[in-house]
Structure 1
């Protein structure tokens, strides 16, 4: 069962990366040309900027836990999340370059009507993001305790990411970006279910 589930994780991540590669090339002809570039304050630009930041923390968390546990399943899940989200992050930053738009947002989540969130305190700039204190704690735990805390943090992170991606599906105008956002929703919902199973096996559950 463990090997089969690990294989599913790797296969799903590979399929998503292949799809992402196709979307990277598609965006230039699907709203990404100079004549049709989104505005700097558009949902398309805001999602690309904010999700790039959101993804970067997921990559960091994933590499931290890979060094804190020997569990094969958790390490493989973390590796797949890191590779997939690093690839997507690079693509979104590439779109911003293509569109000639800034890569840094002065007001994260403004495109969702959520600029200036109170949760920006202690480094958590967007929904689901871990605080600086939580990131430090993850780096201090080992073994099963690190696995549980990582799975709880990443579940929260995915839930916040899904909320953002669903907003892009609703608000973005670039077809390729909307398709990427929907792919994020589908993939991260599946990973949340997997992480719930992994937490249950460890006598734990997602945070309320």
Structure 2
């Protein structure tokens, strides 16, 4: 029985190896998109939070958007798939505009700390940590289109999470409206990235 079990396991392992032919994971430290994200996360971790939900949402989303823009620029530079390049350009266009709106709000708003704001800050940092863990466990291929699509799903999800926390804790209408806009737009884009990955079957 033991010999039979050993042979069965050996056959299973061989089958798994054959099924995995063609998959050559890239080390995360070597992946340009991971490098962009880790640099962006380092900057976000260095931010001085104010304890004001609306102000800190604007600061974090402004920097978060920059990470998406940097990734999208890399896709335009290195990608081959026209659908992904079009999505990258759309991200650059929309999030550059939103960055300017966040910057305008930050410059005209005096932050006031509150318990709600502190709760937002705690949840926002948890969202960032969740995003990095999700990205750190993804299989990366070194193929720009595939890695851009996969990692942008996680990146967009963290933006959704932060925007939902802004709706929960924020009080300024302009920021709440921007949070809802982010939720609506990025839910759609997550679905588009997922559909592309399913259709192209990168793994």
Same fold (TM over 0.5): yes
Q: How far off is 1:99 after superposition?
A: 1.3
For the structure 1 residues 181 and 115, does the alpha-carbon distance in structure 2 shift closer, same or farther, using more than 3 Å as the test? Answer: closer
Q: Distance in 2 between matches of 1:191 and 1:85?
A: 13
Q: Distance in 2 between matches of 1:53 and 1:129?
A: 15
How many residues align structurally? 147
- Aligned equivalent of 2:199: 201
For the structure 1 residues 127 and 79, does the alpha-carbon distance in structure 2 shift closer, same or farther, using more than 3 Å as the test? Answer: farther
User: Which one has a larger percent helix, Structure 1 or Structure 2?
Assistant: 2
- Aligned equivalent of 2:131: 128
Instruction: Provide runs of 4+ in structure 1 moved above 3 Å.
Output: 114-117, 129-134
Q: Distance in 2 between matches of 1:203 and 1:133?
A: 20
Q: How far off is 1:204 after superposition?
A: 3.7
- Aligned equivalent of 1:51: 61
Q: Distance in 1 between matches of 2:83 and 2:145?
A: 10
Q: Distance in 1 between matches of 2:161 and 2:176?
A: 13
- TM-score between both structures, scaled by the size of structure 2: 0.63
Alignment map for 1:13-162 (pairs within 5 Å): 40-100=50-110, 111-114=120-123, 127-128=130-131, 141=142, 145-162=143-160
Q: How far off is 1:110 after superposition?
A: 6.3
Pick the structure with greater CA Rg: 2
Q: How far off is 1:111 after superposition?
A: 2.8
- TM-score between both structures, scaled by the size of structure 1: 0.62
- Aligned equivalent of 2:42: none
